[in-house]
Structure 1
């Protein structure tokens, strides 16, 4: 069975290289169930490998041949081997956080082979405190971070006594909204449905506003105002010597601390996340004598209430766009940096709020094209980066979650750094904590783990500065 790729999935596969693997992932820490024995990790591996029926999403791999007229399609793996995808690993002694993060860094560095379904899951034992870790990665062409968080709500339970729960890759009654899906059955590559034609007509109708949106976007960018496109980001050490080797670091803070800063300053929790990152990068770059006089620019995905769409598939006008935010890294005062971030974010959201979802996607895609085209053309490092860092905040479950009695203690996202922005900071809220996952190029971002205490110090300074 083959299915067509949507344009987004095709884009993620096209830009992938050894230097830039395009998978997202996460480190999940669990407490053992109260009735767990010494062989619990082996039991967990067997639970994850015992799947009555696989979800079609987890059986796909990309394929191209003369039969597909040379175009990439999804093909179902006819020789699927779940033991290849669900693996059992152990940490060396002493089994601390350092050993765990070093292992996850290595696992996140390896590219997923196209001849198999594009995902892996590793059950990791040997933590000295008795916890169990699972590192999972899946290609961005199959699933994004928002879909991964939604999957947690489908797979995990609020009930610590519930048993017999299925693995994420098992076929569940409710599909994961937002995951990349093709038609349910076989697809004739020459066939175009009536629905597709109608959708195309809807797109053409809405696309009439694209030229105006493009002019407004570029005009704001030329004037160095917040937009989906940046023309004024400075050169830093984060856009040099990009390689495929990754380093991953993770830590969490109480969400209430961030909320308190936001309330006291009249900002948002997303602003506080970006301001923490800004202060951390200011410290880190000063330490390496690399802080530019000009503010760094962060690419920040934001949820927007866009103007009503005329697309047949639109539902309620919600949209997700990307805003290029001035981080205020040139400002020494923590409160001043937070204000600068808030004003930049506010202006960027206002610029996008007047657009339809299609226009938001198109303008945000233009910003991503700035980053990806030099990669495709082999010109990375020769042009000014469109942004310096990626900062993303994905809301997660507010209450504790369980998998067959094992309590999820922490959920730390691992994402995709790119040439020009060799550091990706993705965080998600879970059970009263804000869990940060930092993913960077091992060469362009040396000693990345030093950023964790810097983030902690910056949160404390923000609390002091705004009286939180």
Structure 2
């Protein structure tokens, strides 16, 4: 049976090409418990590969047909239709088996397309790290999961108990993630209500939403023209990142103590997300300045904002993509890091206030308006001559707050990897894991072949912001 796919999810399939793979990924690095080694982790995975069971979310295949009028949908395959050894693969690093060799391997893997004739995910089990740890690289198509739901899959496959054993492999865990939310009509009506009354209420709400879109659009565009925090930007300058891209990828990552970021945010009257944006802004400024490519106008970042309601069980378990977005002025025209942080904090606060004044449907509509130029470029596969809608996507995905383990192996590091697209050759995605926050950089290898300078600038910017805050 072919279940319908949300239009926002199918966009990632429609816009995919060899030059624009549309999967997200994560690199997890585990440390063995006392008395164990990386070889023991491989042995446990080898046993799991013979188990035959695959969780439903990993058996969903994207398909379209004449009966669906060409629209993409999800088809759930049976366990015996899954070639698990295609999806779960073993890799070994060459000597000396350090992070250089690991990131080189992941860069190559992240640039290859997922096979659309199968469920859209892969997991690579990587051994050969000289420090005795074990790495797992996972990639999953953005049509199947956004960052928040992918993080949920990770949490559900592990445990906070370091002594727990006989755990299922991540692809076997019966996740609560659903690809299609329960239709409203299928839910039971409140006691005493009738179907006509329910339909009448829904119709009135729909009319109200449509009527409210016109003034909301006017206010959103007015904020964009005035350079205020908004879901739309019209001021992003051209940069060397905003060019057509190729299919090869380059990835790099660096972690910082989460408590260090929290302390800086507290002393700066800012959020952790504000600090991440300020670090990224200073990094981009230095990188472009060194190459005589810093525009006089400030760069603009697209910042995804989760729209999942934490108090709604249906929303928590739904898969797919549920995000709004804000455009943030990165103040890269300013030399002082503290001044840049002030601009970023004010812009994000203004943008959040504007979203709070909208209904969820209006937030989605304005977000679609803001990203529409990029969506068109994705669909046609070309970067147009017009001003880019924004210069870079910077995301922050909340990760596990406590240490996580798989059969006693501790998750030490989790590096997020995302999607460069046509006109967006660099992506910065962050995620927290226990006491660390990781910056994952993903680029078009042709446009940004060396990410190490950017990593170095991140550390420098954090130090400068701490100095400015008196720390």
Q: TM-score, normalised by structure 1?
A: 0.90
SS in 1 for 2:114: coil
Corresponding position of 2:17? 17
Separation (CA, whole Å) in 2 of partners of 1:428 and 1:51: 32
Partner of 2:457: 454
Does residue 148 of structure 1 match 2:119?
Answer: no
C-alpha distance in 2 between matches for 1:181 and 1:165: 27
Change (3 A) 1:246 1:200: farther
Moved more, 292-301 or 146-155: 146-155
Of residues 286, 289, 293 in structure 2, which corresponds to 1:286? 289
CA–CA distance in structure 1, aligned partners of residues 315 and 363 of structure 2: 13
Q: In angstroms, what is the RMSD of aligned CA positions? A: 2.5
Uncovered stretches (5+) of structure 2, i.e. residues with no partner: 184-194, 317-321
* 2:86 pairs with 1:61: no
1:133 Cα shift?
A: 0.4
Q: Of 360, 384, 409, which residue of structure 2 is paired with 1:357?
A: 360
Q: Distance in 2 between matches of 1:270 and 1:264?
A: 14
Q: Distance in 2 between matches of 1:164 and 1:183?
A: 33
Question: Which residue number in structure 2 is paired with residue 105 of structure 1?
Answer: 107
Distance 1:137 1:467 in 2: 41
- Taking the aligned partners of 2:374 and 2:421, their CA distance within structure 1 comes to 8
Partner of 1:115: 117
Distance in 1 of aligned mates of 2:17 and 2:10 = 14
Tell me, yes or no, if structure 1 residue 234 matches structure 2 residue 237. yes
CA distance in 1, matches of 2:462, 2:13: 37
Structure 2 Cα separation of the partners of residues 262 and 439 of structure 1: 25
Alpha-carbon distance in structure 2 between the residues aligned to 1:168 and 1:362 = 35
Distance 2:112 2:26 in 1: 14
Partner of 2:269: 266
| Equivalent residues of 1:88, 1:122 under 8 A apart | yes
Residue 49 of structure 1: how far off its partner (Å): 2.3
Name the structure 2 match of 1:376.
379
- Alignment CA distance shift 1:4-1:303 (3 Å): closer
In the aligned structure 2, how far is the partner of 1:143 from the partner of 1:320? Answer: 12
**Which residue does the alignment assign to 1:49?**
49
Shift of 1:3: 1.4
State the match for 1:127 in structure 2.
129
Give the corresponding residue for 2:179: 180
Mapped partners of 1:305, 1:288: distance in 2? 40
Paired position in structure 1 for 2:466: 463
Shift of 1:91: 0.5
Partner of 2:186: none
Gaps of 5+ in 1: 185-193
Shift of 1:151: 2.0
2:422 maps to 1:419: yes
SS at match of 2:287: helix
Deviates more, 1:289-298 or 1:391-400: 391-400
Distance 1:199 1:403, change over 3 A: farther
In the alignment, the residues of structure 1 paired with residue 417 and residue 106 of structure 2 have an alpha-carbon distance, to the nearest angstrom, of 9
CA–CA separation in structure 1 for the residues paired with 2:433 and 2:315: 29
Tell me if structure 1 keeps the 8 A contact 2:38–2:133: no
Secondary structure at the aligned position of 1:71 is classed as coil
The Cα shift of 1:421 comes to 2.0
Q: Aligned pair in 2 of structure 1 residues 166, 224: CA closer, same or farther (>3 Å)?
A: same
Distance 2:369 2:5 in 1: 20
- Once the two structures are TM-superposed, the CA of residue 175 in structure 1 deviates from its matched residue by 0.3
Distance 2:181 2:223 in 1: 37
Distance 1:204 1:137, change over 3 A: farther
Please tell me whether the aligned partners of residues 27 and 415 of structure 2 are also in contact (alpha carbons under 8 angstroms): yes
How far is 1:171 from its partner? 4.4
Secondary structure of the corresponding residue to residue 266 of structure 2: helix
**1:242–1:305 CA distance, 2 compared to 1 (3 A):** closer
Q: CA deviation at 1:303?
A: 4.7
The alignment's TM-score, normalised by the length of structure 2, stands at 0.89
Question: For residues 400 and 130 of structure 1, do their structure 2 counterparts lie closer, same or farther at Cα, with a shift above 3 Å needed?
Answer: same
Q: Could you report, residue by residue, the CA deviation over 1:298-328 in whole angstroms, capped at 9, with x for unpaired residues?
A: 011235799xxxx9x889xxx8521100001
CA deviation after TM superposition for structure 1 residue 37, in Å: 5.0
Aligned ranges 1:162-177 → 2 under 5 Å: 162-172=164-174, 175-176=176-177
Q: Is the 8 A contact 1:45 1:86 kept in 2?
A: no
Q: Helix, strand or coil: the match of 2:110?
A: helix
CA contact (8 A) 1:108 1:137 kept: yes
From 287, 294, 298, the counterpart of 1:295 = 298
Q: Deviations over 1:37-85 (max 9, x none)?
A: 5732431432542556322221122222334333322223453100100
TM-aligned CA deviation for residue 428 of structure 1: 1.0
* Secondary structure of residue in 2 paired with 1:180: coil
Q: Is the CA contact (8 Å cut-off) linking 1:41 and 1:125 kept in structure 2?
A: no
